[in-house]
Structure 1
Amino acid sequence: MKRMNSKFAAALGLIAVATVGLTACSSGTGSTTTESMAPSAPMATSSAPAMPSGSAMATESAMDPAANLVGSACAAYAKAVPSGDGSVAGMAKDPVAVAASNNPLLKTLTAAVSGKLNPKVDLVDTLNGGEFTVFAPVDEAFAAIPEKDLSAVVADAATLSSILTYHVVAGQIAPSDIDGTHKTVEGQDVKVTGSGDDIMVNEAKVICGGVQTANATVYLIDTVLMPPAKK
């Protein structure tokens, strides 16, 4: 899988004229297919504790959603989408699935988690119903996957659910605490290394992280994460 190329910066420059009024995923859109989500047991816990609503980060982010942003493309994104539902401030007002649907960089991910790519995989209620850290691949990350391979994944509900839940960790993790190994909802670990504008999630680079939604902390990444093959 190829890494994010230099065209990403140019793509950000076009966001300002892109349609940001994407169809929002509401908490009433379909039901989560628990049989396709692995495992059916309660969600795995993160190696970092969930951020209490009264924490310093929650309070600071409520006053300024941009206070904890990290990543080399945050400034470009803020400039391209300075206001509205898809902006950093706009995303902070909505639960994560709704917020992602308003972000012009996350069209493919939004379609994947809302049942639009495979009706058997609808994770909207689950994502909107808890506290999470979400590693969100941007559209170019999905575009880097060969079309044949992507089509095969989309057609297999179990595989698609496994990949999507591998991008989610229970509990909100701030950029200052993100370095380390975290257990995903899928059940296996992701390894996060680095800090500031140089953070990696496995082999994916964080483009802009610490983006707050009403119930999650989001890290935009340049590569789709693939869970390790289970032994």
Structure 2
Amino acid sequence: MKTRTKTLGVAAAIAAVTASLPLAVTAYADPAPTTTATPVVEIPDPQGSGCDNFKKAMPEWKALADLPAGKVLASIPDISTFNAALSGGLNPEVNIVPVLDNGPYVIFAPTNDAFAAMEPGKLDALKADAAALTSFDYYHAFLGLLGPDDVKGQRPTQQGAEVKVTG
């Protein structure tokens, strides 16, 4: 008789849990309406060596403020290798563009010339090692909205390293 009581008790418990499941699955809540507008940030005037070349190559550079980071990075030909490193082009396992698109981030993008100047085999090693490539990508990203006058000094990267920015 005790075995039969335990079996009925377990069966009743399973039935009670099963009966409550449709309520949990079908329950929902309407999201609260959002009343905050997305902040509009003006892109500061690029300054420093090479920036004049950038402004000549991309005369509509101010329009980049309206685009997500991934589209901005993809639109600059001189950093196409770095863009490939961020977006899965070098290694399909590494795509941090969705993270950057949800930023605000300052991204120090190495040029194609910088990649060409890497010691032989270094880029191939990064391509083959998803963890190293991810670390490399986040090393070049800083959280926040910083203009040329604000970015100088010690800055923590998303990779965790502290980098001294001098100009």
Distance 1:123 1:109 in 2: 12
Q: Trace 1:14-163 onto structure 2 (pairs within 5 A).
A: 53=39, 58=41, 61=42, 65=43, 67-83=44-60, 88-163=61-136
Asked if the contact 1:169/1:182 (under 8 Å) is kept, the reply is yes
1:156 shift after superposition: 0.3
% identity of equivalent residues = 37
Q: What does residue 170 of structure 1 align with?
A: 143
Asked if the contact 1:96/1:128 (under 8 Å) is kept, the reply is yes
1:137 shift after superposition: 0.6
Aligned partner of 2:153 among 175, 180, 183: 180
Higher relative contact order (CA 8 A, sep 6+): 1
After the TM superposition, which parts of structure 1 deviate over 6 Å for at least 4 consecutive aligned residues?
none
Q: What does residue 13 of structure 2 align with?
A: none
Asked if the contact 1:131/1:170 (under 8 Å) is kept, the reply is yes
- Once the two structures are superposed, residues 22-66 of structure 1 have per-residue CA deviations (whole angstroms, 9 ceiling, x without a partner) of xxxxxxxxxxxxxxxxxxxxxxxxxxxxxx947xxx3xx2xxx4x
**SS state at 1:169 partner:** strand
Asked if the contact 1:91/1:100 (under 8 Å) is kept, the reply is no
- Once the two structures are superposed, residues 163-190 of structure 1 have per-residue CA deviations (whole angstroms, 9 ceiling, x without a partner) of 1101111111111111111111111111
Asked if the contact 1:131/1:171 (under 8 Å) is kept, the reply is yes
1:90 shift after superposition: 3.4
Q: Provide the TM-score with structure 1 as the length reference.
A: 0.53
Change (3 A) 1:81 1:68: closer
The structure where helix makes up a greater share of residues is: 2
1:74 shift after superposition: 1.9
**SS state at 1:106 partner:** helix
Asked if the contact 1:184/1:190 (under 8 Å) is kept, the reply is yes
- Once the two structures are superposed, residues 115-138 of structure 1 have per-residue CA deviations (whole angstroms, 9 ceiling, x without a partner) of 111011011110101211111111
Distance 2:67 2:120 in 1: 32
Distance 2:148 2:39 in 1: 16
1:109 shift after superposition: 0.9
**Structure 2: gaps (5+ residues):** 1-37
Change (3 A) 1:125 1:139: same
The alignment of Structure 1 onto Structure 2 pairs a total of residues equal to 130
1:78 shift after superposition: 1.8
Distance 2:89 2:56 in 1: 30
Distance 1:191 1:126 in 2: 23
Distance 2:120 2:66 in 1: 34
Distance 2:103 2:145 in 1: 10
1:150 shift after superposition: 1.1
